[in-house]
Structure 1
């Protein structure tokens, strides 16, 4: 099958990773790298060849050999760049977060849908074998009904000039939750607490709490200031508990047949005093997982969604759900950490329950 033409816009932190994977893909022909810093773009491209280096977005969008663009620039620029690309008839891949506001994200989605184009978010972790296995285990009921999700993403990270730690790191955890939870991330409210101990002008340490369905709860801890790097998610269910440790390649996913059982001895379900508590201490097992780069799967999905004329697995709507939570978290921070409602889009009746 003939390869699709693509250009990468932005040769900074994430752009080189996209360039490397697009070049290695059988689905894509990397035709251009666009960046205002031509020297930086040239270093990313390497020795002169068939990949054009340019500072002109107009030149990229006017090229009929370019079917799609991948945007890897600061979040505040995503909206304008994506709308220009969509108006030029190009499919668009955008690194996280999709936009700097839900309003801008929705405008991008509307433009893509009006033009019959694919708008996809680069929620990279959703394409890791570990997260795909977690989604599968939850879907088949291996964990039972979910009770809690506790996620920690901390490291000594780069303090961003334009976003706080929530907008920088939490999109990873929120996009994973949207991917693995049946029906997506349907949080109705969020409470956020943030701290700026350095005086950087934005939260460098943060905590998100979200009530989920049937009394479950999700918690996300993000931190730019930790000397220790941790990427871990614990998902507790009524049957089993799962631990995902992204930094442990020998055992990324562990499933524990351990937990608490609450059995009522009363005919009145509201009588909690007449309950017995027992603890399960069963086996622990780790599923075998293939090892491959998530970005390679992500760019393959982008091509497949274009060729198939279908919605991408991490499409604009999935990214918008993440943006809605981030915006509610910002409002919660401004209101001293109060539980703040997450705006929700009305879902057409015929699409209810469909992912």
Structure 2
């Protein structure tokens, strides 16, 4: 291992772990030292793909190895907190697969531990590193879209039923991370409904609505029981509108110069006239670079330079707070649940 490389240990070699190992191994900034998993057959598969990587069924071996500076956690969601806490207490920087933990309180404990030890704690919100979402963020920041009126997403497929998390913690988490990243406003409440169609399993379909301080609203539809796979998002702005289809091989983003104009003074609202604007559509160039490659390079950069990650623990906390509130709303048959707000925002809402 070169001196400028970050020594990495990966725990979990099931669904997402192989992708992490592959991308860390391909990065000149990282050196995958060891992989841990309880399943010997998975470790055998890892050794075939990466002969130079050590394998072990003891997570403690990764924590005890002084050549490992950072731990990437790709285990079931209910184990994230304990494994991340153990890694931080061992002096390791940590990248955790989403969600960061199973409750906001547990996330705050991890944040406190990481800050006390001056370690990087980053959550794997992979979509933030996709060229498509980065382009959307760029368009929003340049005010090409104008004020965002709505975010409307459908994320469905005949998917893998999870045993320890519901569909909102598995799929909706992606959209919540994107919303947190691109919308320059803080949601004040969430309403959610969901149902399960397999006895004893978590909810497999859900609808979430996020309410913001301004007129923006976000709808997220997630489902593990769809006959087709759909990954489509509509973002409506006062100037332009975006259609983002993650399944498109090339033109993932289409920007429409469409919208409305309103004629008439506000005091004569009953007399206003709606005009329609229909301009051009264009599809901006999107890089083909794999998002996870960008993410692991960003993580190792942050470890080396002490920089704040794009998907830092605070962003992970905001997402988990929404997921937690959405779970409470589901239990209350869709009753809106207020979200914890910074004092300034809370005072404005009360006033």
Q: Please tell me the TM-score bracket, short chain as reference.
A: over 0.9
Cross-structure match for 1:306: 303
Q: Name the structure 2 match of 1:350.
A: none
Any residues of structure 2 matched to 1:343-354 within 5 Å, and which? 343-344=340-341
Q: Please name the residue that 2:348 is paired with.
A: none
Q: Is the 8 A contact 2:250 2:286 kept in 1?
A: no
Question: How far is 1:58 from its partner?
Answer: 1.6
Once residues 120 and 72 of structure 1 are traced to their aligned partners in structure 2, the CA distance between those partners, rounded to angstroms, is 13
Q: Could you tell me which of 318, 321, 335 is aligned with 2:318? A: 321
User: SS of the residue aligned with 1:310?
Assistant: coil
Q: Secondary structure at the match of 2:335?
A: coil
Structure 1 segments unaligned to the other structure (5+ residues)? 348-355
Distance 1:199 1:142 in 2: 47
The CA deviation string for residues 228-279 of structure 1, in whole angstroms up to 9 with x for no partner, is 0000111000000001100002210000011122222x3xx24321211000
Residue number in structure 2 paired with 1:142: 144
| Cα separation, 2, equivalents of 1:48 and 1:298 | 20
C-alpha change, 1:81 and 1:40, in structure 2 (3 Å) is same
Retained in 2: the 8 A contact 1:79–1:99?
yes
Q: CA RMSD in A?
A: 1.4
Distance in 2 separating the partners of 1:48 and 1:231: 32
Equivalent residue runs for 1:108-119 within 5 Å: 108-119=110-121
> Taking structure 2 as the reference length, what is the TM-score of the superposition?
0.94
What is the DSSP-based 3-state SS (H/G/I as helix, E as strand, rest coil) of the residue aligned with 1:215? coil
Tell me: CA distance 1:199–1:49, structure 2 relative to 1, closer, same or farther (3 Å): closer
CA distance in 1, matches of 2:118, 2:333: 42
Query: 88-97 vs 41-50, which deviates more?
Result: 41-50
The 8 Å contact of residues 38 and 53 in structure 1, kept in 2 or not, is answered as: no
Partner deviation per Cα, 1:132-159 (whole Å, 9 max, x = no partner): 0000000010011110000110000011
Partners of 1:229 and 1:236 in 2: CA distance: 23
Q: Secondary structure of the residue that 2:79 maps to in structure 1?
A: helix
Is residue 220 of structure 1 aligned with residue 220 of structure 2? Answer: yes
Equivalenced residue count is 342
Alpha-carbon distance between aligned partners in 2 of 1:198 and 1:270, rounded to the nearest angstrom: 53
SS of 1:244's equivalent? strand
Provide the C-alpha distance between the structure 2 equivalents of 1:48 and 1:282, rounded to a whole number of angstroms: 52
Offset, 1:202:
2.4
Q: How far apart in 1 are the matches of 2:61 and 2:191?
A: 45
Match of 2:61? 59
Which segments of 5 or more consecutive residues in structure 2 lack a partner in the other structure? 345-351
Contact between 2:132 and 2:253, CA under 8 Å: does it hold in 1?
A: yes
Q: Distance in 2 between matches of 1:93 and 1:124?
A: 11
Q: State the alpha-carbon separation in 1 of the partners of residues 21 and 309 from structure 2.
A: 20
**Is the partner of 1:13 in helix, strand or coil?**
coil
Could you tell me which residue of structure 2 aligns to residue 13 of structure 1? Answer: 15
Whole-angstrom distance in 2 between the partners of 1:117 and 1:48: 28
Aligned to 1:234: 234
Cα distance between partner residues in 2 of 1:291 and 1:333? 38
1:352 maps to which residue?
none
Change (3 A) 1:225 1:200: farther
Q: Which residue is 1:50 aligned to? A: 52
Note if 1:24 corresponds to 2:26.
Answer: yes
TM value normalised by structure 1: 0.93
Structure 1 residue 47 displacement after superposition: 5.8
Moved over 2 A (4+): 47-50, 197-202, 343-347
- What CA deviation, in whole Å up to 9, does each residue of 1:72-94 have, x standing for no partner? 00111010000110001000000
In the alignment, which of 86, 93, 101 is matched to residue 91 of structure 1?
93
Aligned to 2:335: 338
| Inter-partner Cα distance in structure 1 for 2:49 and 2:222 | 39
- Taking the aligned partners of 2:148 and 2:66, their CA distance within structure 1 comes to 48
